[in-house]
Structure 1
Amino acid sequence: MTQLESHNGYYLWKYIPSSAAGGIFATLFAIATIAHFYRLFSTRTWSCIPFAIGCIFELIGYAARTSAHNQTGALMPYIIQSVLLLVAPALFAASIYMTLGRIIRCVRGEKYSIIRVNWLTKIFVIGDVLSFVVQSGGAGFMVEGDNATTGQNIVVGGLFVQIIMFGLFVVTTTIFHLRMRRYPTTESYNVEAPWKSTLHMLYGVSVLIMIRSIFRVVEYVSGQNGYPLTHEWTVYIFDAVLMLMVTGAFYYWYPSKVIPAPPESAAYSLNTNSKYGEP
């Protein structure tokens, strides 16, 4: 029977990770990874590269959890799953932020954005990168028994950065949306550019990632002996399932048809047979 093992006298895991659950989600994220890379290269929507990489992180993370079932004292599987599953949503967020910029330019709604469009993507992505770096650094500290508490605090700080950026993103998106509904631009009537459904998708995935980030904050604030870190089902319900839903929604409402209008022209045109069209 598999037993919980220590690493230099420190228990990395508070339970024996389920190989079945890990295997199921590794398989599901493998499917998501293949699907998103197919979408990425067939539509050449390069702003979605971070999202596809995030799918790889999820896949490797759950594969590492699966392998940890029989080696709970091994450091490498624990590090891999801790870091990759923690930061993968930050990569999803990068593509989500860039998609809003595509939508605004697609409908020529730059004047309705509370943040100048040239800066909008930069601001959110920089905040996202900061969150990514802080969370990665904190996760690195957490694998060391003596610095586990410090690592948790750093991770919580990175998660708060992510939550704040998502909050600002939702506010920016909502204000833009309300202004567009009140004073629609000529380009917004282009029925072939599904900017409305794409915008609704952004709301949905943003809420899912926000819920997941709040869960992670609760998880780390509760400490090593808190309920979330000592019960494995919580990470699957409040992280794995939610992130799988994010990959599914983003794939279904892929932003490949939401094409930014050329800067030098106020007219928006869409060629559905172009290299940017849906497959």
Structure 2
Amino acid sequence: MMVLVSRSYKFWNYTPSIAAAVIFILLFLTLTVLHSWKLFKTRTWFCIAFTIGGFFQIIGYIGRAVAHDNTTTMGPYIVSNIFILLSPTLFAASIYMTLGRIIRCVKGEHLSVIKVSRLTKTFVWGDVLSFVVQGNSSALSVLGYDTWSKVAVVGGLAIQLISFSIFWLTAIVFKNRIRRSPTPESVQTGIPWQKSLYMLYTVSALIMIRSIFRVVEYVLGNDGYPLRHEWTLYIFDSVPMVIVMVVFFVWYPNKLQRNADFEGGIPLTRSYSNLHR
């Protein structure tokens, strides 16, 4: 007599903690509500992507909570991985646009390494490329191409790291140049451009640390320490992203001049801004 044995593939090397997932659901829910309130109150529409990134985090950790009792189900695994993975890419879009807004605000276009009309487009489209490459990893994983899925994730994260490195260099060079040759607008006390720059340095560094962790995680694979120990995700990804949302909210870039925002920005954002003026 033939005995049929059903085998279930476990997508996790551990059982995801429902307590940790719920804690971060509540944290990201609170922060996303605050960002949504700030967004609509100040009409700082270029921060829409950042707020959507908060919703991505909520969805991702809901996936982890559901996976606690469904470690052999593909759905929660994919939802958790893809939404948590892509959220910082949306944060980055608003971060990149903030730098262009700062430079225009203090009339420092001539001090920028990259022409300001191209600066936002360059970084945002690089961010879009990173988003698409990482996003395709889930489709490849579902189709059974695990190796190519890993390549897609690492490739997308590499694009993100390169973009942030160039972004950091651009911001630092601009800061040094405007210190040596300040514009009349840069010495006005009503324009908090220096605080905004420090905010960008902080959130960019946190996202870079998180991206480096993710690269290491995927390179080491399922047998590596990060994917076998859940605490690494929360320490090197979850906590830094909470801090990013807190820092961006506290030093929200709504006080920068409105007319510095969308000139030379991406078309969709520019149109949305004009619609609400």
| TM-score, reference length from structure 1 | 0.89
- Deviation of residue 189 (structure 1)? 1.3
User: Where does 1:107-186 land on structure 2 (aligned, <5 Å)?
Assistant: 107-143=106-142, 146-186=144-184
Q: Which residue of 2 aligns with 1:55?
A: 54
Q: 1:24 to 1:262 in 2, by over 3 A?
A: closer
Contact kept, 8 Å, 1:112 with 1:179, in 2: the verdict is: yes
Cα distance, 1:44–1:260 mapped onto 2, change above 3 Å:
closer
**What does residue 237 of structure 2 align with?**
239
Tell me: CA distance 1:112–1:260, structure 2 relative to 1, closer, same or farther (3 Å): farther
Q: Report deviation, 1:141.
A: 2.1
Whole-Å separation in 2 of the counterparts to 1:67 and 1:156: 26
Distance 1:200 1:75, change over 3 A: same
CA contact (8 A) 1:198 1:253 kept: yes
In 2, Cα distance between equivalents of 1:20 and 1:11: 20
Question: Equivalent residue for 2:72?
Answer: 73
Deviation at 1:262, TM superposition (A): 6.3
Residues 155, 261 of structure 1: CA spacing in aligned structure 2 closer, same or farther, 3 A cutoff? same
User: Match of 2:59, as an amino acid?
Assistant: I
* Matching residue of 2:28: 29
Matched, 1:40 2:39: yes
User: What residue in structure 1 maps to residue 267 of structure 2?
Assistant: none
1:100 aligns with 2:99: yes
Letter in 2 for 1:30: L
Q: CA deviation at 1:11?
A: 2.0
Q: Which amino acid aligns with 1:65?
A: R
Q: Structure 2: which 5+ residue stretches go unaligned?
A: 1-5, 262-277
Alpha carbons 1:93, 1:128 under 8 Å: kept = yes
Paired position in structure 2 for 1:272? none
For 1:258, which of 256, 259, 271 is the aligned residue? Answer: 256
2:216 aligns with one of 215, 218, 228: 218
| Structure 2 Cα separation of the partners of residues 8 and 56 of structure 1 | 35
| Distance of 1:114 and 1:30 partners within structure 2 | 38
Structure 1 residues 221-253: Cα deviation after superposition (integer angstroms, max 9, x where no partner): 001111111110000000000000000000000
What displacement does 1:134 show? 0.3
| Mean Cα deviation higher: 186-195 or 47-56 | 186-195
- The residue type equivalent to 1:229 in the other structure is L
Which ranges in structure 1 are unaligned for 5 or more consecutive residues?
A: 1-6, 264-279
How many angstroms does 1:140 deviate by? 2.9
| Aligned 8 A contact 1:45 1:256 in 2 | yes
Asked if the contact 1:219–1:228 (Cα under 8 Å) also holds between the matched residues in 2, the reply is: yes
How many positions carry a matched residue from both structures? 256
Greater CA drift, 73-82 or 170-179: 73-82
Equivalent in 168, 193, 199 of residue 191 of structure 2: 193
Q: Percent identity?
A: 53
Take 1:21 and 1:32, find their aligned partners in 2: how far apart are those partners? 17
Per-residue CA distance 1:88-138 (angstroms, 9 max, x = gap): 000000000000011000000000001110000000000000000000111
| Alpha-carbon distance between aligned partners in 2 of 1:259 and 1:77, rounded to the nearest angstrom | 43
How far apart, CA to CA, are the structure 1 residues paired with 2:191 and 2:20?
39
CA distance in 1: counterparts of 2:258 and 2:208, whole angstroms: 27
Residues 15, 143 of structure 1: alpha-carbon distance in 2 compared, 3 angstrom cutoff: farther
Letter in 1 for 2:117: N
Q: Distance in 2 between matches of 1:156 and 1:90?
A: 14
Deviation at 1:261, TM superposition (A): 4.5
Is 2:8–2:72's contact at 8 Å kept on the other side of the alignment? no
Contact 2:105 2:257 in 1 (8 A): yes
SS at 1:70's partner residue? Answer: coil
Aligned to 2:247: 249
What amino acid does structure 2 have at the position aligned with 1:160?
A: A
**Residues 139 and 155, structure 1, Cα contact 8 Å, conserved in 2:** no
